[in-house]
Amino acid sequence: MKLQEDFSGLKQSYLEFEENRLSKYAAKSSKSRGRKKQETSCPIRNEFQRDRDRILHSKAFRRLKHKTQVFLSTLGDHYRTRMTHTLEVSQIARTIARGLRLNEDLTEAIALGHDLGHTPFGHSGEKVLNNLFHEGFEHNKQSLRVVDVLENLNLTEETRDGILNHTGKTTPFTLEGQIVKIADRIAYLNHDIDDSIRAGIISESDLPDEAIEILGNSKSSRITFIVKDIIIYSEDSIKMSNDCDKAMNSVLRSWMFENVYENPSVEAEKDKAKDIIQVLFGFYLNNIDKIKDEDIKKAGATKERAVVDYIAGMTDRFAISDYMDRFVPSFWNKL
């Protein structure tokens, strides 16, 4: 068996594909801004493919499957989790990148890593930690901390920038990062509609006519319309037409906040989740020795920072289980 094959031709063929077939606006792996720590290149994969694989194999990525997207403690298996959200973002983003002849590998890496730092219980958990931690807490910054410090993935600057700037007012410096930023919103608006209908909070007929008449009356038609619109109107920046932007961002998104994200039935469950995180934060702050996570120990952070890292990394079910074990008499769980 040959153990020392020459893969230079395989890798070179892809680098030539990037140079000759991708758009002039695409990020090229051969021209990457590099990593914080220089490494020997892989004989098979380009630098962005290596980023993607490191993220997929990380512990933080595996934990996404048990973290809330919007709905807490659901009884069914068909509601989105943070992992399925991430995969849907990746699919939408890759389709846009392919349509614009941009770098699909970089796009996928950013998409898969963008929510690694998200808390248990979705944005409710994020808000609680933001209030408790004196430095504040934002899940995009925590995602970057996960890949840089807690798991030491040593990603390229292009991937790191896309992860950090996938939300908020800042803009990624690559078009691939800009794609993920807009694909994130496309994904969550449409799959949250789907989940909200399944939960009985809204019905398809409730959706605002002003948005549906433009975007379409099904999840598939809406995503297809928006993706096509972006491909048509983007060139040296990622954007959409004025009509599409208004329908998605001004009308539909505002309607979703009013009728779903801030719905009293959803908020009631969020309040319970907030209580769990507040109690656990206080407990670990006073019992820092109870944190056994080796990645957090290696980070050498302050006590408060270590507690934030630990709680942010918890899955929903681990946070609930930990809370029950520490603060609820064991025999109550058997009643």
Q: Domain with 253 in it: what CATH number?
A: 1.10.3210.10
pLDDT at 264: 86
| 74 occurs within a structural domain | yes
| 309 occurs within a structural domain | no
| 79 occurs within a structural domain | yes
The total of structural domains in the chain comes to 1
Model confidence pLDDT, tens digit, residues 72-102: 755 578 899 999 999 999 999 999 999 999 9
| 270 occurs within a structural domain | no
Q: Report percent pLDDT > 90 for the chain.
A: 82
| 330 occurs within a structural domain | no
| 228 occurs within a structural domain | yes
**266 or 42, which is more confident:** 42
| 78 occurs within a structural domain | yes
List the domain range (segments joined by +) for residue 142: 44-122+137-263
Q: Can you give the pTM of this predicted structure?
A: 0.95
| Cβ–Cβ < 8 Å for 150, 60 | yes
Of 24-33, 49-58, 289-298, the one with minimum mean pLDDT is 289-298
| Cβ–Cβ < 8 Å for 124, 274 | yes
| 333 occurs within a structural domain | no
What is 57-117 written as a DSSP string?
Answer: TSHHHHHGGGSBSS-SS-SSS-S-BHHHHHHHHHHHHHHHHHHTT--HHHHHHHHHHTTTT
| Cβ–Cβ < 8 Å for 156, 48 | yes
**161 burial via Cβ count (<10 Å: 0-12, 13-18, 19+):** buried
pLDDT at 159: 98
224 is written with which tokens?
């297809």
Of 17-26, 225-234, 323-332, the one with minimum mean pLDDT is 323-332
Terminal CA-to-CA distance of the chain, rounded, Å? 61
Q: How big is the CA angle at 66 (ends 224 and 111), to the nearest 5 degrees?
A: 40
